[in-house]
Chain A
Amino acid sequence: MKSIRLSLVVYLILLQSLALGASGWLAYRTADEKLSTEQVSHYALLAKQHDEKAKAIRDRFDEELLAIARRIAKNAAEQPQFRQHQATQVIPVGLITAGLAPHGEVLMPVWVASGSRSSLHLQILRRLVTEIVVPEEQLPRDVEFAGSEFFQINSEWASLPAWRSRSLGAESLPFDPGQVSSLQVVDWAYDDITLPNGEPGRRIQFKTPVSRFRFLRTPGLPPVPPTSDTAIPPVQQPPVTPAEGRPERLAEMGVPFIVIQCAFQVDQRDRQLDRLNASTTSEMKDVVIQGADARWVLTQRLVLIGLATFAAITFGALFLINHGLAPLRRLGDAVSQVTPQSLRLQFEEAELPRELDPIVDRLRATLEQLRSAFEREKQAVADISHELRTPVTALLATLDVTLKKQRSAEEYRAALVDARAAGGHLRTLVERLLALARLDAGVVPTRIEEVDLNDAVERVAGLIRPLAAEKGLTLQTHCPAGLQWTTDGDKFREVLVNLLHNAVQYNQPGGLIDLRVSSEAGRLVAVIRDTGKGIDPQQLPHLFERFYRADPSREEAALHAGLGLAIVRGYLDLMGGDIQVDSVPGQGTTFRISLPPAPLPRREAA
């Protein structure tokens, strides 16, 4: 037994779970993607910020380096040292001019050359300058960082020894002239090196011409870059293209260059960078944690919303299911109230939805059929009992009266005759009821034989004639001589007797009864005509119903009991025949039966 309610609930829960699951998953996915994108962009932003900050730190560091290098360059370029004895060896006249020259040791040629404008003095300069010295005190050095800042000046011309700051001690910074030669006139390059004290450091190599000679300071030199970091050209980029003319010529002219190296320990900067890194990392971690938190909250909410929706829909659906099933329940109640005593559905038509109309209509129709069947049965039982009661009563009353006291033999005989008559009526009635019951059950045995119709008619007439004569009626019979028919002779005669009985019963005094038997178109036709009072046309349709009497009062009760015509109809149906009735009230009734020949049983055929 399937329960609509249960299956609906199960399907609903399944459907709901699917829908909620799918939409929850979608919502989660969408939100998750959004979160991820946000996280990624947040990450990217953080990374960018980090990079920028790190770059700023590095740039500031580099700028400082550059500023220092520039300052040193400014000093260093004007302080080439010339060693006296060399000059003396090269140019002996230097001694002569020693007293005149402002620099004492500077030889005349140098002095002369310094005033000259030719490339020659540059050659001289290159030859004569022995050393470029930067006084230690001029170094822009933080007391705090002494020992971690290193300076070195290398000259372009290799013969010149490198000047090294005291912090370097015996060490020196590595110098690769080739690396520097690619640089422009005034240019610099950064690189990361390992400092002599073993620490990592940052170095700037600043190339600058020795600018002692005023005339060399031409407007063609590139301007000193501003100290702000943004304008600093990247290390690897080629420097600003020199203007046409002088700078080019500077190189051609063989202006000597020096390379100032400033190498600073970068621990402080790196610490800064580390801090930056740490903060960025923690921020990124925060982002990850926030993302996870957001996902967790999202999950919780989705689950909560899902559960709430699930519960709400389930309860709503239960209500709806109950509501939807209510008419069925009402119908069920109404049906359960149906009893054989009251075959009616007890409810208002408007209470039920249209969908149940076919069921209700069918139920009502069935109940109506049942009710009329019950009615008919009740009526039949009442009729049967009524019909049986009268002869039983007559029998009992006769016997009771007779037994009341001693009687003469004659009286006993009369009583027995009466009792016999009542018994006879009872038998007739019982036989008729039995015949009908057998017809209903379909167990009427038939005995098909070759019937001599003349004989049959005569036998029937012999039964009826005395009754007719008693009422002053005339019975006429017509039957072609020698007419034979294959049929159940007993039933055929029974049909004729019943119809003739009626004709006698309902005839008028001095009336006529006419029976004609003939063969027409392969069928046996018997017509029984009477001159009786006729039958009301309204009653004709009911004529063959059981216990139906055209006349509600009765004449010979037990003989008829309203069963005769019902049996006639039953027998004719059994034999494949039919019956028609035609009646004119006041003039008479005509019954016309027709029978096909019945097939002979095999025994006879063989």
Chain B
Amino acid sequence: MRVLVVEDNKSLARALRQGIEEEGYAVDCAHDGEEADHKVRGTDYDVIVLDLMLPKIDGITLLKQWRGAGRESCVLVLTAKDTTADKITGLDVGADDYLTKPFELDELLARVRALVRRKHAVKDPVLRCHDMELDTAARTVKRGGRPIYLTPREYGLLEFLAFHRGRVVTRSMIWEHLYDEHDESTSNVVDVYIRYLRNKIDKGFELPLILTRWGEGYMLRGDDDPGPVDSESDE
């Protein structure tokens, strides 16, 4: 999942970035309205954490512009403005959630997770795929009742696949959603992580869950996908 933090207070932005990154999300930062607008135009963010009082272009104006342009990203407004009128204004111009400063980091992270679920039209925080369970809240994975330990990046990849379960996601999509702007790696790294994941998820199980679509990308096995006959390992 890729998150944009728009916050002009640099130390807060840094803290937010670190906090959200450690949840396994790829985080970009913007310190003023123009920068935020520029980044939103270039990238399809899953969640945008938006301060309202920004230099150059204020948050409300940005939000209106984005909604007007058909941007589907979930927007969490994070601001010191705490009056009811401010909240109503923020929500009415298209924010999905509203959190006032100062806030608890855990609450912010929970809201970000909720927004990710909303983005993918999922209600249950536990994503299921055959005998695998992915708890997005605890960020744990079990297969056949046995816990599987994943690195944050591996977990992010699996979660992304799980949210798009039954659909093919391209390498660039994965790359875009899992790597932030500062990451120097290319989309080839996706293949590497897919391999790592397969080692942890599919190894020792009869039914492979991570499928490869040649020339397209990868997908997590859907309920009605055929058995392992047509699936091909990347190896």
Chain A residues in the interface with B (C-beta under 8 A): 382, 385-387, 389-398, 400-402, 404-405, 418-419, 421-422, 551-555, 557-558
Known: A385-B80, A390-B9, A393-B103. A400 touches B15 (CB 8 A): yes
Query: In the complex, which residues of chain A have a beta carbon less than 8 angstroms from the beta carbon of B100?
Result: 389
Asked whether A398 lies within 8 Å of B14 as measured between CB atoms, the reply is yes
- Chain B min CB distance to A509 (Å): 14
How many B residues face the partner with a CB closer than 8 A?
29
Does B16 make an interface contact (CB < 8 A)?
yes
Q: How far is the CA of A386 from the CA of B9 in the complex (A)?
A: 13
Which of B53-61, B122-130, B172-180, B201-209 sits within the interface? B53-61
Q: How far is the CA of A78 from the CA of B215 in the complex (A)?
A: 201
Q: How far is the CA of A418 from the CA of B12 in the complex (A)?
A: 8
Asked whether B53 lies within 8 Å of A392 as measured between CB atoms, the reply is no
Known: A397-B103, A418-B14. 18 other contacts (CB 8 A): A385-B82, A386-B80, A390-B12, A390-B80, A391-B9, A392-B101, A397-B12, A398-B11, A398-B12, A400-B104, A400-B105, A401-B19, A401-B22, A401-B105, A418-B11, A551-B55, A553-B56, A554-B54
Query: In the complex, which residues of chain A have a beta carbon less than 8 angstroms from the beta carbon of B103?
Result: 393, 397
Asked whether B80 lies within 8 Å of A389 as measured between CB atoms, the reply is yes
Known: A389-B101, A552-B58. A421 touches B33 (CB 8 A): no
Main secondary structure of the interface of A (DSSP, over half): helix
Known: A392-B102, A400-B105, A404-B22. A418 touches B15 (CB 8 A): yes
Query: In the complex, which residues of chain B have a beta carbon less than 8 angstroms from the beta carbon of A393?
Result: 9, 12, 80, 101-103
Query: In the complex, which residues of chain B have a beta carbon less than 8 angstroms from the beta carbon of A394?
Result: 9, 11-12, 15
Q: How far is the CA of A392 from the CA of B9 in the complex (A)?
A: 11
Binary flags per residue of B46-57, CB closer than 8 Å to A gives 1, else 0: 000000011111
Known: A397-B12, A398-B14, A555-B55. A390 touches B19 (CB 8 A): no
Main secondary structure of the interface of B (DSSP, over half): loop
Asked whether A421 lies within 8 Å of B80 as measured between CB atoms, the reply is no
Asked whether A404 lies within 8 Å of B8 as measured between CB atoms, the reply is no
Query: In the complex, which residues of chain A have a beta carbon less than 8 angstroms from the beta carbon of B82?
Result: 385
Does B84 make an interface contact (CB < 8 A)?
no
Q: How far is the CA of A557 from the CA of B9 in the complex (A)?
A: 7
Binary flags per residue of B97-128, CB closer than 8 Å to A gives 1, else 0: 00011111110000000000000000000000
Q: Which 5 A-B pairs have the closest CB atoms?
A: A394-B12, A397-B15, A400-B105, A389-B80, A393-B101
Query: In the complex, which residues of chain B have a beta carbon less than 8 angstroms from the beta carbon of A421?
Result: 11
Which one of A390, A418, A422 contacts B101 once the chains associate, using CB atoms below 8 Å? A390
Q: How far is the CA of A405 from the CA of B57 in the complex (A)?
A: 36
Q: How far is the CA of A390 from the CA of B19 in the complex (A)?
A: 17
Q: How far is the CA of A554 from the CA of B7 in the complex (A)?
A: 11
Q: How far is the CA of A391 from the CA of B82 in the complex (A)?
A: 16
Does B18 make an interface contact (CB < 8 A)?
yes
Query: In the complex, which residues of chain B have a beta carbon less than 8 angstroms from the beta carbon of A382?
Result: 83
Does B81 make an interface contact (CB < 8 A)?
yes
Nearest A residue to B108 by beta-carbon distance? Answer: A397
Q: How far is the CA of A52 from the CA of B98 in the complex (A)?
A: 125
Query: In the complex, which residues of chain A have a beta carbon less than 8 angstroms from the beta carbon of B11?
Result: 394-395, 398, 418-419, 421-422
Asked whether A555 lies within 8 Å of B22 as measured between CB atoms, the reply is no
Q: How far is the CA of A552 from the CA of B83 in the complex (A)?
A: 18
Q: Which of B70-85 contact A (CB under 8 A)?
A: 80-83
- Chain A min CB distance to B137 (Å): 16
Query: In the complex, which residues of chain A have a beta carbon less than 8 angstroms from the beta carbon of B101?
Result: 389-390, 392-393
